[in-house]
Amino acid sequence: MASTTPPDQNDPSVYLHAELLPNIRHITLHISLPTTTTTTTSPGANTSDSSPLQISLSDSRRAVSIPLPAPHHDIAETMKLPARVSPASRRALSTSTNTSQGQPTPDGTRREYSFRMQVDPDEQTAAETDGFVPWTATDMSSSTRLRCLGCGSGVLTETGADRERTGWVWKDLPSGNWAEMMDFWHCHKPDPVREDSRDGNGEGHGHEEDPNAVVKGYGAANQVVATPGTVLVDVATFLVAGGDCAGLKQVRDFAVRSGNTDDSSEPDAIQCVNCDSLVGVEDTVAHGWRLFKTNLSASMEGHDPSQDSSWVSYPVETVVAAQLLEFIERESTRRFVVHSGRKYGLLIWVFNPDLRYSNSSSHHSIAAQRAMKVFFQFLVDVDETLHPEPGKASPLSLEELKLPPASYSAFAAALDQSNAMLPVSAREFREWKVGILHRFERSVGERT
C-alpha cells in the first residue's frame, strides 16, 4: 500500500486527487495549484493566476498531466486515474479549464479546481464486497508463525507447550452474529418428542433435548473454546490456547492501559516478555488468549520465516476498516463510536465503504488505491453519545467499537493524516471532517 504523505500547502508543486464514484460512474478530479503558478504550457508565458489551466488527458484516457510551475514548464505532474474515462471527457476538460477560475484556499497560497469526468461505458466499476479481512484461515498454513510486531520475538512457534506438534491448524470463526443466531434458534426451535411419550393419537407429551444439538452447533452449551494446536481467526484477532504461546506473559494492568479504574471490568493483558508491548487480552469465556492482528507479523506460506522480508503485517487502519465493514455487513449500520475506554473518542460515519482513488502524494501508485471514505468528529464524552440522558435524543443505528489504546491512537492519527492529504476544499463536509481509510484487497492470484 502506498504511503499517503500529506502535501505541504506552501509547496509550489501541483497537487492532484481523484475519486471514483461508481454508482453514478463519475470521477471527481481535484487540482491544487500555488497562486503564482503559470498555467500555460509555453515556457515564455507570463505568470498570471487568470491564465487558462492546461490539463492533458493521456491517449489511454487513464491518466492526467498538468505542467509544473515556472521554471519547470517542460515537466508535468502526472497521475493515473481510478478508471478509464470516456472520450467525451477530453473535450469536457478542455471546455471547463478555459472557463474555470478555481477557488482560493483560506490562506490565499493556493487555488483549487474541481472537475467531473464520465467513466468509459466499457469500464467495469462494480464494487467488490468480499475479501476485506486480512489474514483469514485460508491465507495461513501449518507452517505459519506469528511474532511480536514491536521486537520481532516469536509468539506462536514450535516452542509452545506441545513441542511434538508439526504444524498449526487454522480455522475461521463464524460471523459476529453467529452466537446470537444460535441463542435464537435454541430458544425458538421446535421441541423434539420422544417416541415413548406419544399417545394413541400420535400426540407428544414429553420433552427432551435434541441429541444432535451439540453436533450441529445449536446446543445451549455449545460455544467457541480455544483448542491446543488450533488457531481460530476472526476479523481482528487470533484466538489461541495460552499454552501454545511462547514469549508472552499475562498481566493485570490492562485496566490502567485503557484508562479504566475498574479492574474487574477489563480482561487481563497479554504482553510480550521482551518489550512489554500489548499483544492481546485474555478471553475467559473461550478459555484462551486473543492476540491482536495489529500487533503481530506473520510468516506467510512459501516464505522463509528466517528472512525479515518474508514477514507480513498490516497497519491499524486496515484492520479497523475491516471491523467497520464487518459491522456494516452484519448490522447494516454506518455510524460508529470508536474509543479506547477513555472518556473521549471518535464518531465515525462511513459515507462510502468501497472507494477507489488516486493521489499525487501517494508516490505515484501504479494502480488506484482501494479505501473507504468516512466522516469523523472528535467526541469529548463517549458515554454521553452512547447513553444520552433521559429526555435527550437517542442515537439510532449507532455501534460501539473499542480498541486498545495504542491502536486507537494510530487509528486517529491515520484519519488526521488522510484528512491533510485531501485538497483543502474537500477536507470538511458541514460539521464533519473527511478522511480516507485504506481497506484490505487481495492481489490477483492470491488465495481466497
pLDDT tens over the chain, length 448 residues:
444 444 454 455 788 999 998 888 999 999 988 876 544 433 333 434 445 678 889 999 999 998 876 666 667 788 999 999 999 999 888 877 766 677 888 888 888 999 999 999 988 876 555 689 999 999 999 889 999 999 999 998 664 444 455 678 999 998 666 555 555 555 655 555 555 555 555 555 545 555 555 544 554 455 789 999 999 999 999 999 999 999 999 998 655 455 554 555 678 999 999 999 999 999 999 999 999 999 999 987 555 555 555 899 999 999 999 999 999 998 889 999 999 999 999 999 999 999 999 998 755 566 788 999 999 999 999 999 998 888 777 667 899 999 999 999 999 999 999 999 998 989 999 999 999 999 998 764 454 3
Pick from 235, 273, 274, 271: nearest CA to 254: 271
> What's phi and psi for 436, nearest 5 deg?
-130, 125
Q: What's the first-to-final CA gap in the chain, in angstroms?
A: 19
- Between CA 77 and CA 66 the distance in angstroms is 5
Sign of CA dihedral 149, 155, 156, 157: positive
* Residue entry with cell 507479523: 297
Residue 206 neighbours by CB under 8 Å, 6+ apart? 193, 194, 196, 197
Which pLDDT does position 48 carry in this prediction? 41
- Between CA 253 and CA 70 the distance in angstroms is 59
E strand intervals along 107-157? 110-118, 145-148, 154-156
The sheet carrying 154-156 orders its strands as: 154-156, 145-148, 296-299, 311-312
- Between CA 304 and CA 308 the distance in angstroms is 9
Copy the grid coordinates of residue 328.
Answer: 456494516
Amino acid at 73: H
Beta partners for 112?
A: 32, 103
Beta partners for 56?
A: 65
